[in-house]
Structure 1
Amino acid sequence: MESKTTTHLANLLQSCIDKKSHLAGKLIHAFILRIGLASDSFLSNRLIELYSKCGKIHSAHQVFDQIPHKGVYSWNAILGAHCKAGNLHDAYTLFVKMPERNTVSWNTLISAFARSGFEKKALDAYDSMISEAFLPTRFTLASVFSACGALEDSKSGRRCHGLVIKIGLDVNMYVANALLCMYAKCGLLRDAIRVFEDMPEHNEVTFTAMMGGLVQTDRVVEALEMFRLMCRKGIGIDSVSLSSILGVCARGVCGDFGQDDLNAVLSYNVHGQQVHGLTIKLGFERDLHLNNSLLDMYAKNGDMDSAEKVFANLSEVSVVSWNVMIAGYGQKYQSEKAVEYLQRMQCSGFDPDEVTYINLLAACIKSGDIETGRRMFDSMPCPSVSSWNAMLSGYAQSGNHKEAIKLFREMQFQSVHSDRTTLAIILSSCAATGLLESGKQVHAASQKAFFHTDIYVASGLVGMYAKCGKTEMATRIFSNMSELDIVCWNSMIAGFSFNSLDMEAFTLFKQMRQNGMCPTQFSYATVLSCCAKVSSSFQGRQVHAQIAKDGYMNDIFVGSALIDMYSKCGDVDGARCFFDMMPGKNTVTWNEMIHGYAQNGHGYEAVCLYNDMISSGEKPDGITFVAVLTACSHSGLVDVGIEIFDSMHQEHGVEPFLDHYTCIIDSLGRAGRFHEAEMLIDKMPYKDDPVIWEVLLSSCRVHANVNLAKRAADELFHLDPQNSAPYVLLANIYSSLGRWDDVKAVRELMSEKQVIKEPGYSWIDYRNEMQTYKVDKDLRMVNVKAQAVSDGSFCYNG
Structure 2
Amino acid sequence: MEGGTTRLANLLQGCIDKKAHLAGKLIHAFILRNKGLFFDTFLSNRLIELYSKCGNMGYAHHVFDKMPRPDVYSWNAILGCFCKAGSLRDAQELFLKMPERNTVSWNTLITALVRNGQEEKALGVYDAMVLEGLVPTHFTLASVFSACGALLAVEHGRRCHGLVIKIGLEENMYVGNALLCMYAKCGLIRDATQVFGDMAEPNEVTFTAMMGGLKQTDRVTEALEMFRLMCRKGVRIDSVSLSSMLGVCAKGCGEFGVYDHIDGIPSNVNGQQIHGLTVKLGFEGDLHLNNSLLDMYAKSADMNSAEKVFANIPVVSVVSWNVMITGYGLIYQSQKALEYLQRMQSCGFEPDEVTYINLLSACVKSGDIKSGRQMFDNISCPNVISWNAILSGYFQNEDYKEVIQLFREMQFRDVQPDRTTLAIALSSSAAMGILGAGREIHAASHKAAFDTDIYVASGLIGMYSKSGKIEMAKHIFHNMQELDVVCWNSMIVGLSLNSQDKEAFTYFKQMRQHEMHPTQFSYATVLSCCAKVASSFQGKQVHAQITKDGYMSDVFVGSALIGMYCKCGDVDGARNFFDMMPSKSTVSWNEMIHGYAQNGRGDEAVLLYWDMIASAERPDGITFVAVLTACSHSGLVDAGIKIFNSMDQEHGVEPVLDHYTCIIDSLGRAGRFQEAEVLLDEMPYKDDPVIWEILLSSCRVHANVSLAKRAADELIRLDPQNSAPYVLLANIYSSLGRWDEARAVRDLMSDKQVIKDPGYSWIEYEKGMQSGMGMITSC
| TM-score, reference length from structure 1 | 0.84
Q: Is the 8 A contact 1:79 1:95 kept in 2?
A: yes
Q: Is the 8 A contact 1:759 1:775 kept in 2?
A: no
- Alignment partners' CA distance in 1, 2:195 and 2:230: 16
Within 5 A, what are the aligned runs for 1:28-427?
28-36=27-35, 37-253=37-253, 255-256=255-256, 262-263=261-262, 266-380=265-379, 383-412=382-411, 418-427=417-426
1:368 alignment partner, SS class = coil
Stretch deviating more after TM superposition (277-286 or 519-528): 519-528
1:262 alignment partner, SS class = coil
Stretch deviating more after TM superposition (318-327 or 396-405): 396-405
1:352 alignment partner, SS class = coil
Q: Tell whether 2:734 aligns with 1:777.
A: no
Q: Is the 8 A contact 2:458 2:490 kept in 1?
A: yes
Cα deviation, 1:514-550, whole Å, max 9, x if unaligned, reads 5555444444443443344334444444445555555
Stretch deviating more after TM superposition (587-596 or 715-724): 715-724
- Alignment partners' CA distance in 1, 2:235 and 2:504: 58
Within 5 A, what are the aligned runs for 1:623-702?
623-697=622-696, 699=698
- Alignment partners' CA distance in 2, 1:119 and 1:520: 42
- Alignment partners' CA distance in 2, 1:593 and 1:85: 75
Cα gap change, 1:546/1:347 in structure 2, threshold over 3 Å: closer, same or farther?
Answer: farther
- Alignment partners' CA distance in 2, 1:560 and 1:401: 30
- Alignment partners' CA distance in 2, 1:559 and 1:284: 55
| TM-score, reference length from structure 2 | 0.86
- Alignment partners' CA distance in 1, 2:763 and 2:87: 73
1:347 CA displacement: 0.8
Q: Tell whether 2:439 aligns with 1:440.
A: yes
Stretch deviating more after TM superposition (111-120 or 584-593): 584-593
1:87 CA displacement: 3.2
Q: Percent identity?
A: 73
1:469 CA displacement: 2.2
1:303 CA displacement: 1.1
Cα deviation, 1:127-155, whole Å, max 9, x if unaligned, reads 33333333333333333333333333333
- Alignment partners' CA distance in 2, 1:729 and 1:210: 82
Cα gap change, 1:82/1:197 in structure 2, threshold over 3 Å: closer, same or farther?
Answer: same
- Alignment partners' CA distance in 2, 1:460 and 1:716: 41
- Alignment partners' CA distance in 2, 1:630 and 1:232: 70
1:318 CA displacement: 1.0
1:777 alignment partner, SS class = strand
- Alignment partners' CA distance in 2, 1:552 and 1:27: 84
Cα gap change, 1:355/1:33 in structure 2, threshold over 3 Å: closer, same or farther?
Answer: same
Stretch deviating more after TM superposition (164-173 or 312-321): 164-173
Q: Is the 8 A contact 2:357 2:375 kept in 1?
A: no
1:635 CA displacement: 3.8
- Alignment partners' CA distance in 2, 1:416 and 1:457: 17
Stretch deviating more after TM superposition (648-657 or 392-401): 648-657
1:325 alignment partner, SS class = helix
Counterpart in 2 of 1:795?
A: none
Q: Is the 8 A contact 2:15 2:23 kept in 1?
A: yes
1:348 CA displacement: 0.8
Residue type of the partner of 1:94? L
- Alignment partners' CA distance in 2, 1:416 and 1:327: 25
Q: Is the 8 A contact 1:250 1:268 kept in 2?
A: no
- Alignment partners' CA distance in 1, 2:79 and 2:425: 48
Counterpart in 1 of 2:620?
A: 621
- Alignment partners' CA distance in 2, 1:772 and 1:72: 98
- Alignment partners' CA distance in 2, 1:517 and 1:20: 67
> Which protein has the larger Cα radius of gyration, Structure 1 or Structure 2?
2
Cα deviation, 1:267-289, whole Å, max 9, x if unaligned, reads 42122211111111121111111
Q: How many residues align?
A: 768
Cα deviation, 1:437-460, whole Å, max 9, x if unaligned, reads 223333344445555455544443
Within 5 A, what are the aligned runs for 1:573-612?
573=572, 575-576=574-575, 579=578, 585-612=584-611
- Alignment partners' CA distance in 2, 1:325 and 1:75: 50
- Alignment partners' CA distance in 1, 2:692 and 2:119: 70
Cα deviation, 1:199-251, whole Å, max 9, x if unaligned, reads 44433333333333333333323332332233233332222222222222221
2:106 alignment partner, SS class = helix
Cα gap change, 1:370/1:78 in structure 2, threshold over 3 Å: closer, same or farther?
Answer: same
Q: Is the 8 A contact 1:724 1:757 kept in 2?
A: no
- Alignment partners' CA distance in 2, 1:203 and 1:520: 47
Stretch deviating more after TM superposition (292-301 or 68-77): 68-77
Unaligned runs of 5+ in 1: 763-770, 780-798
Cα deviation, 1:473-492, whole Å, max 9, x if unaligned, reads 33334444455455444444
2:261 alignment partner, SS class = helix
Cα deviation, 1:425-447, whole Å, max 9, x if unaligned, reads 33322222122222333334444
Stretch deviating more after TM superposition (300-309 or 132-141): 132-141
- Alignment partners' CA distance in 2, 1:735 and 1:122: 96
- Alignment partners' CA distance in 2, 1:267 and 1:292: 20
Cα deviation, 1:292-342, whole Å, max 9, x if unaligned, reads 111111111111111111111111211111111111111222121111111
Cα gap change, 1:475/1:201 in structure 2, threshold over 3 Å: closer, same or farther?
Answer: farther
Cα gap change, 1:751/1:14 in structure 2, threshold over 3 Å: closer, same or farther?
Answer: farther
Q: Is the 8 A contact 1:146 1:178 kept in 2?
A: yes
Residue type of the partner of 2:302? D
Residue type of the partner of 1:138? H
Counterpart in 1 of 2:777?
A: none
- Alignment partners' CA distance in 2, 1:5 and 1:555: 89
- Alignment partners' CA distance in 2, 1:73 and 1:582: 81
Cα deviation, 1:758-790, whole Å, max 9, x if unaligned, reads 88999xxxxxxxx999975259xxxxxxxxxxx
The structure whose RCO (Cα within 8 Å, separation 6+) is larger is 1
RMSD across aligned positions (CA): 4.1
- Alignment partners' CA distance in 1, 2:13 and 2:95: 25
1:351 CA displacement: 0.8
Q: Is the 8 A contact 2:255 2:299 kept in 1?
A: yes
Cα deviation, 1:359-407, whole Å, max 9, x if unaligned, reads 2122222222222223333455554444343222211111122233333
1:672 CA displacement: 3.4
